[in-house]
Amino acid sequence: MRPFLLALLTLLAASACLRAGNADAAQARRIVSINLCADELVLRLADRQHVAAVTWLARDPAASTVWEEAAQVGINHGLAEEVLLYRPDLILAGQYTTRTTVAFLRRTGMPVMELGVPQTLEEVYAQILSVATALGHEERGEEMVAAMEDSFAALAPPPAEWRPRAFVLRPNGFTVGPGSLVDSLLVKAGLTNAAGENGLFLYGQIPLETVILEQADLLIIDADARDHPALAMEVLHHPALQRLGERIEILALPSRLWTCPGPMLVETVKQLAEAAERVRARRRNP
């Protein structure tokens, strides 16, 4: 590391140590997020003038539901030197992302709040409330959770007689099984996660042949696959999947709607439930 940069980091870290002791007692005034899901909550819950920076991904409409708000604040790429230059009094990070940066920031005494990956709606609500409290706006978190609960309650309950089987297929053949938030949303929408029936738990890859031979009722793919050409997306363009659409329902769902905790999860369940109903209609009228 260059000497002048090392000196700058040392100076900023020392000054951060002096502020860290008071960070929990007062409302955060300079907030930096280095995680996409933290970006979403910060931009929804904090006062805009107190958000110093979010990740560059927050400005990508394909990845973020708050990209317009993100255009109004600074951005970072998850590097420690970027974070320190903002002189934050609260940093929000993800449990599994930017680990080197988080370790450095903690060693220098910076006030870091790490967010886990919720697996249920109850954990989503708990995370929203904890972030809102850390930002000094507990009431905004309570309002967001109450609005989500009301919106979910307003959705028609799924029929009890039959739950269509669904596969989630993501780039590189990844899917999600029980123990994940996606699985919780599938269940809430009245679907059965076919990946769980194949012994998969949480996250993993599934062969395209399995998706085809299992004859599930619904296939859920990323809606953004056509907009981001890459080898990882090739599985979603396979001719066999195109032909599969002739006999089963295929739902192209933007991944940004169910990647992170927040109000957009209501729209996700709504779209999943509508797809499940189309499957039932096919069954009633083959």
Domain with CATH 3.40.50.1980 in the chain: 3-117, 165-284
Burial label for 235, CB within 10 Å (0-12, 13-18, 19+), is buried
H and E: helices and strands count for the chain? 12, 11
Strand ranges (DSSP E) for the chain? 31-33, 51-55, 74-76, 90-94, 112-115, 165-169, 174-176, 192-193, 203-205, 218-222, 249-253
Q: How many residues does the chain have?
A: 286
Average pLDDT of the chain is 82
CA pseudo-torsion sign 196, 199, 203, 205: negative
Per-residue model confidence as pLDDT tens digits over 14-41: 444 434 433 443 567 899 999 999 999 9
Q: Decide which of 3.40.190.10, 3.40.50.1980, 3.30.2130.10, 3.50.50.60 is the CATH code for 3-117.
A: 3.40.50.1980
DSSP assigned state of 180: S
Element (H, E) at 169: strand 165-169
DSSP assigned state of 32: E
CB distance 64 to 70 below 8 Å: yes
What is the topology classification, in CATH, of domain 165-284? Rossmann fold (3.40.50)
What is the structure's pLDDT at 22?
39
Per-residue model confidence as pLDDT tens digits over 189-205: 999 888 877 666 667 66
pTM given for the model: 0.81
